[in-house]
Structure formats: structure tokens, C-alpha cells
Structure 1
């Protein structure tokens, strides 16, 4: 059963799985809203709205995912981000992030460059295993525009681009 679909088709469905499930919830909600009576009709409206919201989030996550066949592994645990690569790696707290950049010239793949308030840098390839989880981390950053992140990923720039930055806190 594992060989029922080609690996490319399986990867496609896995990448777009949230949108596909959201479509099922949306269709169920629409069906209940149009054919239901009483509480089922109201549940249909609720499911429809949930399906639309989930679908928008699913599209964003699918656009962010670059495949997990790159070098290294990304782990996110309790707002602490860790990257274990073949040549380098490191750990950075999400609360300490001060700048997020994308470097298209890094080798072997374009990389996210995360800079902490202290100036420590962590370089994570965009296609590292587990890098799709970075979308939730980046979306939680204050005043970040996820559309900017997705636009930079879809149109690879020629030079390093700062996607988000935070002003350093003043001590007095």
C-alpha cells in the first residue's frame, strides 16, 4: 500500500494536506449549512468558517515548506530553536531574536539567518528537515508580515534580505 502513489505525488499531497483537510471541513460545513435544520445548520456555518480559516493557513504553510531533504535538522521545543547541521549548528531562544534574514548565496541552499539580541547568529537552510516548523515561529514574531516572508521565498532575491527586525531595547 505504501507504493500506491509515486513519491512525487505523495510529497505533493503531504505538502498540501492542510488545505485538503480544510476543503473537506469546508465542504461538510457548506453541506450542513444548506441542507441542515436547526443546530446542524448553525454547525454548518461554523464548520464553513473554520474551513476557510484553516484553508488560508494551509496555503501559507504549503508555500513556506521547501521540502525536508536539505542538510541538518531543526527542532523547536518550548520556544527554543535548535539546528543540528553537518558542519555547524546552534540554539537560539525565540524571545531573543532581533533580526530575521534570508541569504540566497549560502551554500548548499538558501538559508535563514537568525540573529539574537546579543549578536549570535544561527544559519538554517530553508530545506532542512523540520524547517517547515519555522513558519509558526516566524508568524509569532511581533509585527512580522507573513506575506513578506512568503514573497521572499517565492521570488529568491539576489542578495541577503532582512525580512523582520526588532529594535534593541533601551536600558534606561
Structure 2
């Protein structure tokens, strides 16, 4: 019917939770095969159900990370480099040279603060367009605790929180 459009809240919910919902559908399909099949299809069903659970858990993490995309600026992540282009400032940060990642909830919206060597920190609003790509970038940092990052992001306001810190090169051992 012309003129019908989905409610904006429902569309935003579906966009935010899309991977988790797809994972749930895949898991249900796998369980359907397990229950209503026989022979080799039962094992395939278990494999599909397990893949759906894994996809669903990853989707839940991504949904918890997404804070919207209506904030100032644009984020791009390409080959280990984060680029932020904002209305007032911007910059780039290479993942391999980051010293620390902080979350500053005092700004409106909250900001990721990327501490870079020999440069001022790069502040990226959590609601910048394309900021959801930061999840994979941050998750690739050595020693990153994803659950700590998600808890910090979804916690009520407060002071700046160090989410990740690079290992001190002087403390690295040879063995």
C-alpha cells in the first residue's frame, strides 16, 4: 500500500539487532533440521544451530556497541587505520601505534579517545556515522577485553574510563 512506512523506532531496532536476529533464525533453522530430519541431516542441523548461536552472540555484542549514527562526523576504518572527519576536527590513528583507548562519557555524545604517540588524542563521537566499524578495529587490539569495553560503553555517565592500554615495550619478554 502506498504511504505505509515502518515505524522509525521499529526500523532502528531491527537495524541495531540485525546480526543477532539473523543468528537466532539460523539457530532455529538448525534445530528444525535436528528435530524433523534423520541421518546425516541431524548432524548438519546441529552444525547449523551452533553456527547460528555463534552468529547470534557476535550480533548481540555488535548491537550493544552501536549507539546510533546521527552524531557529528564520519568514521572510516581501512587496513588498520582509523580515520575520523568531523565538523570541527579530525585525524587518523593507526591501530598498531595506539597507546591507549579511553571512553569519555562526559561529552554529548560520549567520545572514544584514541591516544596516539607524538600527537594529540583523537576524539571520535560514539554516534558518528560509521562508528560501528570501530567494534572490529577495537576488538583486534592485543589483549582487548570486549566485554569490559561494552560494559563501559553502556554504563551510566561518569568519568573517563581506560578501556585498553598497549603493553609497555620494556616489559615484553623474549620467551
CA distance in 2, matches of 1:102, 1:58: 22
The TM-score normalised by the length of structure 2 is 0.91
Is 1:29 matched up with 2:30? yes
Which residue pairs with 2:149 in the alignment?
149
CA distance in 2, matches of 1:148, 1:103: 14
Number of aligned pairs?
Answer: 171
Moved more, 30-39 or 7-16: 30-39
**What is the deviation of 1:147?**
0.8
DSSP-derived class of the 1:143 partner: coil
Which residue pairs with 1:140 in the alignment?
140
Gaps of 5+ in 1: none
Residue 71 of structure 1 contacts residue 128 of structure 1 at CA under 8 Å; is this kept in 2?
A: yes
CA distance in 2, matches of 1:117, 1:2: 53
User: Residues 3 and 31 of structure 1: is their aligned pair in 2 closer, same or farther, counting only changes over 3 Å?
Assistant: same
CA distance in 1, matches of 2:119, 2:168: 11
DSSP-derived class of the 2:106 partner: coil
Pairing of 1:94-133 with structure 2 (within 5 A): 94-106=95-107, 108-133=108-133
- 1:33-77 Cα distance to aligned partner (Å, 9 max, x none): 122222211110101100111111111100110000000000011
User: Residues 68 and 2 of structure 1: is their aligned pair in 2 closer, same or farther, counting only changes over 3 Å?
Assistant: farther
Task: Indicate the RMSD between aligned Cα atoms, in angstroms.
Answer: 1.9
Which residue pairs with 1:58 in the alignment?
59
- 1:1-53 Cα distance to aligned partner (Å, 9 max, x none): 78431111101111111111111100000011122222211110101100111
